[in-house]
């Protein structure tokens, strides 16, 4: 291979999912994909760039147009083997019946490796055998990829048997579902198809891995920034003498909630961009708790920790819960308050809940003289909810393959369970204690503790993200 980066052409029959495989592998959502065969008409390069450097290149190609005649020509060819492709292209360049065949073989003639894509959920046909034989005759290093569009696996043995005759390696790779770990596995398989490629591909894999780790670290930073911004946020407004106090509180609370939602949204967007999703809107599954508003009852019911978990984290030992329940009567719809109601019920039996209710207010309201203040938040649940929503969002983002353009029903069912609980409800009580300490430090503006617990929380988030990526 002449170029300094490994180059692979993605080749196959029309509509088998070549462009989808490429899109997922290269994490590029600009790749054109369509249910109508013949979508890709030109050869197109998709370099994978990391830190401004091209590290590997994938080439999208049109599907075979005339494989049987192409094969027949190649079988009759009498010239030197290493001239086969150039001779074929020279002989058919101007023939519209072989336009796609010439185009797709051009990168192979130039030295690209081959990734042959088939839909493994259908039987092997003679046409496929012809295509595989053409690729074998080219002598190019080649990997067969089974990208099954349906869940039917009854033809897989059949495909594997054919593939063993024609390819150096075989890999199952689902363009709609493959995640980070499976992308790495596919790159590992590419190593096996040609010894010469091995050192280069080793470097590619290391670069992919360190880039992924860097993205996880950056995501953890973004989440931590969000927590600091939101949980430390407070704003004041003059008490308008024309309004009654409740109305002023409502207005300010609305302002506060808008701020929190907006800031959260910006963080999610930044995370999404980090994982290279920009052109197409990745869809959140309809059942996802992320479809719910941050402040809805359901969000807090689903993602809120249990009372016991909070108590174990030591969360109630400080200024973490409060009243403000009167506000709920004012017509502002705060799921938080009703969630809190249930929470206080339980906490009240553990601690003299009434004292807590009287001493603190949920969002840290202060009414003094002619101004009122809302924030910093006094309920640690907000920390866990923001954190879990970011983690859930990230898990959707990293599991949304770039080649996936909509949800299929089967995938929906598989994903259903994942959203029922937040990630932090599985964290150890020590880890939750760190969250609690971080929260307290924010409240007290204790910079030393904030720094220390912030670093620990950051490490916990990175660990969670790494774990999520390797599943």
- Sites of contact with ligand GTP (CB under 6 A): 12, 14-20, 33-35, 37-40, 62-63, 147, 149, 174-176, 405, 408
Least distance to ligand GTP, CB of residue 192, Å = 23
Give the up-direction half-sphere exposure of residue 158: CA atoms within 13 A in the CB hemisphere.
15
Q: Choose one: 39-47, 78-86, 108-116, 199-207; the region binding Mg ion (CB under 5 A).
A: 39-47
What string of H, E and C letters represents the secondary structure of 278-334? CCCCCCCCCCCHHHCCCCCHHHHHHHCCCHHHHHHCCHHHCCCCCECHHHHCCCCCC
CA 1, distance to chain mean position in Å, is 33
Least distance to ligand GTP, CB of residue 291, Å = 23
* Residue 353: partners with Cβ closer than 8 Å, 6 or more residues away: 344, 345, 347
The answer to whether 19 contacts Mg ion (rule: CB under 5 A) is yes
Q: Which residues of 316-354 are buried (b: 16+ CB within 10 A; e: fewer)?
A: bebbbbbbbbebbeeebebbbbebbeebbeebeeeeebe
Give the up-direction half-sphere exposure of residue 153: CA atoms within 13 A in the CB hemisphere.
3
Task: Name the binder of 103 from ligand GTP, Mg ion, none, CB < 5-8 A by kind.
Answer: none
Give the up-direction half-sphere exposure of residue 52: CA atoms within 13 A in the CB hemisphere.
0
The answer to whether 394 and 468 have CB atoms below 8 angstroms apart is yes
Task: Name the binder of 232 from ligand GTP, Mg ion, none, CB < 5-8 A by kind.
Answer: none
| Complete edge-to-edge strand list for the sheet that includes strand 235-238 | 235-238, 371-374, 366-368
Task: Name the binder of 405 from Mg ion, ligand GTP, none, CB < 5-8 A by kind.
Answer: ligand GTP
Query: How many residues contact Mg ion, by CB under 5 A?
Result: 4
Q: Which of 40, 138, 148, 248 binds Mg ion (CB under 5 A)?
A: 40
Task: Name the binder of 37 from Mg ion, ligand GTP, none, CB < 5-8 A by kind.
Answer: ligand GTP
Q: Which C-beta is closer to ligand GTP: that of 378 or that of 402?
A: 402
Least distance to ligand GTP, CB of residue 216, Å = 26
Q: Which C-beta is closer to Mg ion: that of 11 or that of 74?
A: 11
Q: Which C-beta is closer to Mg ion: that of 46 or that of 300?
A: 46
The answer to whether 436 contacts Mg ion (rule: CB under 5 A) is no
Q: Which C-beta is closer to Mg ion: that of 40 or that of 443?
A: 40
Query: Which residues contact Mg ion (rule: CB under 5 A)?
Result: 18-19, 39-40
């Amino acid at each position: 291979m002449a170029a300094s980066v490994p180059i692979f052409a993605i080749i196959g029959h029309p509509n088998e999912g070549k462009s989808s495989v490429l899109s997922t592998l290269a994490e590029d959502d600009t790749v054109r994909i369509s249910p109508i065969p013949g979508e890709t008409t030109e050869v197109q390069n998709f370099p994978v760039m990391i830190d401004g450097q091209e590290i590997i290149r994938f080439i999208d190609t049109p599907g075979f147009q005339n494989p049987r005649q192409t094969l027949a020509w190649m079988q009759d060819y009498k010239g030197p083997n290493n001239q086969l492709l150039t001779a074929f292209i020279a002989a058919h360049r101007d023939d519209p019946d072989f336009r796609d065949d010439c185009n797709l073989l051009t990168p192979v003639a130039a030295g690209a490796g081959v990734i042959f894509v088939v839909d493994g959920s259908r039987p092997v046909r003679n046409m496929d055998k012809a295509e595989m034989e053409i690729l074998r005759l080219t002598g190019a290093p080649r990997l067969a990829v089974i990208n099954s569009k349906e869940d039917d696996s009854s033809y897989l043995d059949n495909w594997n048997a054919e593939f063993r005759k024609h390819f150096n390696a075989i890999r199952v790779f689902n363009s709609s579902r493959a995640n980070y770990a499976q992308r790495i596995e596919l790159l590992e398989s590419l190593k096996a198809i040609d010894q010469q490629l091995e050192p280069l591909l080793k470097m590619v894999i290391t670069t992919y891995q360190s880039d992924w780790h860097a993205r996880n670290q950056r995501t953890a930073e973004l989440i931590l920034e969000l927590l600091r911004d939101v949980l430390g946020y407070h704003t004041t407004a003059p008490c308008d003498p024309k309004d009654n106090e409740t109305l002023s509180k409502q207005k300010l609370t609305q302002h506060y909630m808008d701020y929190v939602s907006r800031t959260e949204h910006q963080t999610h967007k930044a995370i999404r961009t980090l994982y290279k999703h920009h052109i197409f809107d990745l869809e959140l599954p309809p059942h996802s708790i992320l479809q719910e508003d941050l402040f809805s009852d359901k969000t807090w019911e689903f993602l809120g920790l249990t009372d016991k978990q909070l108590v174990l984290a030591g969360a109630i030992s400080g200024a973490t819960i409060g009243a403000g329940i009167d506000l709920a009567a004012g017509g502002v719809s705060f799921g938080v308050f009703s969630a809190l109601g249930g929470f206080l019920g339980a906490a009240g039996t553990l601690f003299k809940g009434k004292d807590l209710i009287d001493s603190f207010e949920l969002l840290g309201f202060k009414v003094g003289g002619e101004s009122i203040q809302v924030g910093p938040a006094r309920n640690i649940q907000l920390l866990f909810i923001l954190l879990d929503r970011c983690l859930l969002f990230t898990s959707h983002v990293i599991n949304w393959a770039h080649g996936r353009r909509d949800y299929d029903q089967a995938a929906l069912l598989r994903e259903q369970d994942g959203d029922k609980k937040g990630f932090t409800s599985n964290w150890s009580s020590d880890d939750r204690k760190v969250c609690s300490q971080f929260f307290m430090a924010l409240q007290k503006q204790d910079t030393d503790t904030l720094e220390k617990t912030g670093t620990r929380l950051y490490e916990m988030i990175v660990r969670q993200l790494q774990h999520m990526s390797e599943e």
